[in-house]
Amino acid sequence: MRFFLLIACLVAAPAWAQSSAALFAATLHDFDDRPFAFEQLRGKPLIVNFWARWCGPCRKEIPELAAAHDKYGKRGLVVVGIALDDKVEATKDFAKAYEMRYTGLLAKEGGIALMQATGNAKAVVPFTLVIDRQGKVIGSKLGAMNHAEIEAAASQLLGAK
C-alpha cells in the first residue's frame, strides 16, 4: 500500500501538463561542453532531475540519485541530472565534489523553457521527471525527492523485483 501511495504522490500533476517531447527534441551539453542529443536516451527508463548549483534541496538529493544510479544502472535505469547552468567548468567541479556518478548535462540558456515545456510552469528546482521506455512521463516531482520516492520510481520503471 505504501508503494502505491508514493507512486500517487509522484504522479500528482495532470498528464496533459507533462510531456517529454521537448526533452527528447533538446540538444543539451555534457560536462565537457560537447552537444548531447537527448533523443539518444529514448527507449530507456529515465529519472531526469533538473537542478542548480545554488539550490540547497538539489544538493541534498544528489546522493540519493547517485545511489539509484549505482543500484539500478546495471538493470537499465538511466539517471540524468540537467544543470540549469552555462558555466561548464564550475558545474563539472560541482558534480565531482558531490560525486554525481550519473549522466550530467547542462541546459545552458534553454533550461527554464525546457522545464516549463515538461510541466514545471514555475521553473522551480529541483524538478524530476520519471519517464518510461516508451518516452511517456509517468511521474514527476517538484521539490527534492527522498529515498523512498526514488526507490518507488525505479521500481515502477523497472518492474518490482
- The pLDDT score that the predictor gives to residue 19 is 84
How do the pLDDT tens digits run along the chain, 161 residues long?
Answer: 344 434 444 444 444 346 899 999 999 999 999 999 999 999 999 999 999 999 999 999 999 999 999 999 999 999 999 999 989 999 999 999 999 999 999 998 889 999 999 999 999 999 999 999 999 999 999 999 999 999 999 999 998 65
- Domains of the chain, by residue range, sit at 2-158
Phi, psi values for residue 34, rounded to 5° = -90, 140
CA distance linking residue 104 with residue 80, whole number of Å: 6
Q: Is cis: bond before 63, omega within 30 of 0? A: no
Fold (topology level) of 2-158: Glutaredoxin (3.40.30)
The three three-digit cell numbers of residue 97, written as one number = 565534489
